[in-house]
Amino acid sequence: MSDTTFQDTPLYAWLRANAWFLLAGAALVLGIIVYRENAPAWRQAAQEESWDSFRSLAASASGVEDLATRLGQARQDERIYPWFVFDATRAAAAAADAQALELLKPELEALAKTSSVLVATPDGPQNMAAYLLSKVSGEAAALPASFPLPEPEGSKVEVVVSVNDTTTYTLVIGLYEKDVPQGAGALLEWIAAGRFDNQSARKVGATGLTLSLAPRDAQEGEAEPEPLRVERPYGLFHAEGVLTLMQLPGKAGEQDPGNVQILLQDAYYQDGYSTVVGKATEGWAEFKAAMDALDPNAALKVTSVRRL
């Protein structure tokens, strides 16, 4: 019987010599696993934090000195910086604040070269920063107070949401079928299949109301549907009152086939990450007021969603 132990073998010597390397490799693998599992939640939390910062900066006191300070703060977050400049420009034009507009011109000039945000105008899609700069440099009074979403020209759908099974609220949403045919088409298929009916809904902070879909009934041998890709037409911003698809966690550029969201507040940070498929056309004021005042413990349910 041999007296050789594991400690005497070449494998043990190799493991000892490479212990730190092996530990570092294991830590790296573990780190990758943790990141993949948590990255979507971390990204969403960062986006929410950025948008909270935007709302705080946009609501701050006016004045050129204060605006310069807020611009400096906004520059620290690339998610909100362009939108802060656009919002500040509209506010300054509405107040006919010539000093503020002069301060904002260099910001718009820089963004006109780097920002890809487009806006719908009578002359077609234009770069948002360049459009604002042309207005500010010319007749500031011609600048609109806001950039409203175009009116939907597609099908209309009715969404009925119940609170505690006692009170119902009805919202009519027009769809942008020509602009986002894949997203709007998928939504209509889900509605026809009854996947929204009697499903749960939940309020996500103050930002939106998420509607869940029933699991899809797949037939035996049926191929999985193609991924639902993000569509990014100009002029369809993630503004208050829109119906939007949601990013599939961990899948950049793909939409979640199990949830959609009605935005209760502007959420421009979602632009480019998910597809805006429709906009509320009837019942919005009452619906929003009810959702804003909702008791955190209220039970929400989608009674029905149907095509009108």
Range of the domain at 75: 48-142
Q: What's the whole-model pTM score?
A: 0.63
Q: Are 133 and 194 members of one domain? A: no
pLDDT band at 88 (very low <50, low <70, confident <90, very high): confident
Higher-confidence position of 134 and 283: 283
Q: What is the Cα gyration radius of the chain?
A: 25
Higher-confidence position of 141 and 170: 170
Q: Are 193 and 163 members of one domain? A: yes
- And the tokens for 195? 């996947």
For residue 204, the model assigns a pLDDT of 84
236: in domain: yes
Tokens 């000195």, residue located: 65
Query: To the nearest whole number, what is the mean pLDDT of the chain?
Result: 80
Q: How far apart are CA 86 and CA 63, in angstroms?
A: 16
30: in domain: no
Angle at 242 between CA 123 and CA 235, to 5 degrees: 15
Q: Are 62 and 117 members of one domain? A: yes
Q: How far apart are CA 97 and CA 84, in angstroms?
A: 16
Higher-confidence position of 216 and 39: 216
Domain count, the chain: 2
Q: Are 172 and 83 members of one domain? A: no
26: in domain: no
Distances 66 to 58, 79, 171, 186, 301 between C-alpha atoms, Å: 11, 21, 40, 46, 45
278: in domain: yes
Q: Are 177 and 297 members of one domain? A: yes
